[in-house]
Amino acid sequence: MKALIVFVALCFSALPRAEAQTCSATISSVDFGSPDLLAATPTDALATVTVSCTNIPLLTVVKMCPGIGAGAAGSSGSARLLSSGGKTLSYQLFQDAARSQGWGALDNTQLGSVPAIILGNILSGAGTATRTIYARLYADPSATAGTYVSNFTGNQTAFSYSALLFGASTNCTGFVGNAIVQDG
């Protein structure tokens, strides 16, 4: 009986401390440059999302679910829009270099799913991770010259995160955690 009690006590001592994780996130701008929209080929660009967390308890990881909404210019179906006055151009953000998996938001899966970013450093209690965002601007023969933009403010970039034991699900579907709402 004593062995069982010691084992149970050891199991509970391995649980993470109840300490608040502090996380931050930044996303670099997507810049398509001066594309030839009359060409039959799309224009590709890259951006980077960087997440950093501190106070990661021993034997845990932080799962970050970086949801990126449609932006101020909105979306049409599964494509985001850039606007210049009343004119729009279609573009999309992707999780993969082949640009086949759209990057969406937890509240807008029509744009794509939300990939998980896993941070874990069981020795220092802190971690940083980066993930590439692959962007594609679609060709549009009817496009006119202009500066096309879409700003992401308020909950357009809402990142949810939580500390989890190693081996926990890396799926962001239905995930609820602490939130970072980027503004700007």
What's the pLDDT at 9?
32
Torsion of CA 103, 29, 154, 119, to 10 degrees: 60
Residue 69 lies in a domain: yes
Structure tokens at 145: 């010259």
Pairing label, strands 87-94, 157-165: unpaired
Backbone angles phi, psi at 99, to 5 degrees: 55, 50
CA-to-CA separations, 2 to 5, 12, 13, 180, 182, in angstroms, rounded: 5, 16, 17, 46, 52
Q: For residue 179, with 0-12 CB atoms within 10 Å meaning exposed, 13-18 middle and 19 or more buried, which class applies?
A: middle
Residue 1 lies in a domain: no
One digit per residue, pLDDT tens: the chain, 184 residues? Answer: 444 333 333 333 344 444 567 888 889 999 999 998 888 899 999 999 999 988 887 777 788 889 999 999 988 888 999 999 999 999 999 999 999 999 998 888 899 999 999 887 567 788 889 999 999 999 998 888 899 999 887 778 888 877 777 666 677 866 555 555 544 4
Instruction: Transcribe 10-39 into DSSP letters.
Output: HHHHTSPP----EEEEEEPPP---S--TTS
Question: Structural domain of residue 146, as residue ranges?
Answer: 19-165
Residue 11 lies in a domain: no
Domain count, the chain: 1
What's the pLDDT at 31?
93
Q: What is the CATH number of the domain that holds 66?
A: 2.60.40.1090
The predicted model scores a pTM of 0.81
Residue 159 lies in a domain: yes
Residue 174 lies in a domain: no
